[in-house]
Structure 1
Amino acid sequence: MTHPPHSREWYARLARELGGYCHPWTRVLDGPDPELTFDALLLEHLRPDTRVLEAGCGHGPDAARFGPACGRWVAYDWVPELLAQARVNAPQAEFHLWDGRGQVPPELRGPFDLIVSRRGPTSVIRHLPAIAAPDARFLYVGPRLDVPQVPERLSAVGWAILGEWRASVRAWAPTWADWQTRGDFMGEPATREDWTAHAGPRGRPYREERYVVLAGRG
């Protein structure tokens, strides 16, 4: 039985089969990775004493890559299999099981100077007043050019958008299986008719899109 995309069981299968939370399709980009803006902003806000909370950490790639540059890196996810991998990949960080609902667990209350979410749950936004230090920043990257719930939720908790960036790069799904897998992942079911009409020698072209937001208290 196939589990619905983005269900807990589906993420657990990614952890087992791909070794973490990774795009389960092959893609080829015609330009720079559209998430480089997020990476640059994250590095810009890290100091030796920065306290970071990461929402939806997956298997811990950001904790492993950026954690050593800050004072404390704390992260949570709702998939135990991914957290187990994260603890191996980034042993210097702290990882906790949480789905972002209800009250914030004591170990995640901070305060934190930087709260980050790379395609992770936007539900962390409603908790910003409880976990953020006075001059904290929130950094987010989402998988489309617009993620309306981000500015809406920031406004609801009294946080202001300090910067917005949108990046779009042409990409290719080399095979029908890759295109079908991407469609399932993005909630855009693929059809054979579409593949036949638009695919060429390199596969099916599409756009890899990212929406990046940097926010602070209003």
Structure 2
Amino acid sequence: MSSREAQPHSREWYARLAKELGGYRHPWQRSLDGPDPELVFDALLLEYLTPDTRVLEAGCGHGPDATRFAPQCARWVGYDRQPELLELAQRNAPQAEFYLWDGKGPAPSEMQGPFDLIVSRRGPTSVIHHLSKVAAPSGRFLYVGPRLEVPNVPASLHRVGWTIAGEWRVSIQAYAPTLEDWRLRCEFMGEETRQDDWQHHATGRGMPYREERYVVLAKLGNYDE
């Protein structure tokens, strides 16, 4: 059975991505007409990293951000609900800490903060409900999602008393080069795939679509606090 035969974003599906792709990666090929839209998230993350920064990463996957950024901060703690991905993360980023948690119920005792920066790259938004317990008083929350709007993020932040300091919406022209890539992309995004769409809209570069990202930076309280 391949990852395509499991329900997308189920535990089995993530386990098979870990096995077949070596981590939580997009299973389709693509080409972009501009810079990767997640570079906004990267730039903001780097802006807040210092040798003293303590970071909590929600949905760390196989640890690509921990591998890249943990050496630049005092502490990097990641959690994920998928043990297969955590096993990869621990191998990829031995300088970071990783814990098994699904964001529900109390956090593992070893994962206690406070944290100066809480980040989620296309990961769970349930961490927002725990910000009051894990964030330092001057902490920041940084999130990037796969569409131009992720309505539950602003609403959830408002409910826990956090204010959006900045929002960025990035849309880049992209192409899925083959019908199989297009099918995999639609499956990943929970969108329907119709073969006649490919026949009518595919170009020499493949199926055109927009690669979108919604980036949010938030802090506790009002703007002037």
Instruction: Settle same-fold status: TM greater than 0.5.
Output: yes
1:71 maps onto 2:74 in alignment: yes
Shift of 1:197: 1.1
For residues 32 and 86 of structure 1, what CA distance do their matches in structure 2 show? 26
For residues 32 and 16 of structure 2, what CA distance do their matches in structure 1 show? 26
Shift of 1:195: 1.0
Map 1:1-218 onto structure 2 (within 5 A). 2-218=5-221
Report the 3-state secondary structure (helix = DSSP H, G, I; strand = E; otherwise coil) of the residue aligned with 1:20. coil
Which amino acid is 1:203 matched to? G
Shift of 1:200: 1.4
Unaligned runs of 5+ in 1: none
Which amino acid is 1:64 matched to? T
Which amino acid is 1:68 matched to? P
For residues 94 and 106 of structure 2, what CA distance do their matches in structure 1 show? 26
Unaligned runs of 5+ in 2: none
Which amino acid is 1:61 matched to? P
Report the 3-state secondary structure (helix = DSSP H, G, I; strand = E; otherwise coil) of the residue aligned with 2:36. coil
Shift of 1:106: 1.4
Over residues 14-71 of structure 1, what are the superposed CA-to-partner deviations in whole Å (9 max), with x where a residue is unaligned? 1111111000000001100000000000000001010000000000000000110000
TM-score by length of 2: 0.96
For residues 121 and 107 of structure 1, what CA distance do their matches in structure 2 show? 20
For residues 38 and 169 of structure 1, what CA distance do their matches in structure 2 show? 15
Shift of 1:109: 2.4
Report the 3-state secondary structure (helix = DSSP H, G, I; strand = E; otherwise coil) of the residue aligned with 1:153. helix
- The ranges of structure 1 where at least 4 consecutive aligned residues each deviate by more than 6 angstroms after the TM superposition are none
Which amino acid is 1:29 matched to? L
Report the 3-state secondary structure (helix = DSSP H, G, I; strand = E; otherwise coil) of the residue aligned with 2:89. helix
Shift of 1:186: 0.1
TM-score by length of 1: 0.99
| Aligned CA-pair RMSD | 0.7
For residues 52 and 19 of structure 1, what CA distance do their matches in structure 2 show? 24
Shift of 1:108: 2.1
Which amino acid is 2:68 matched to? R
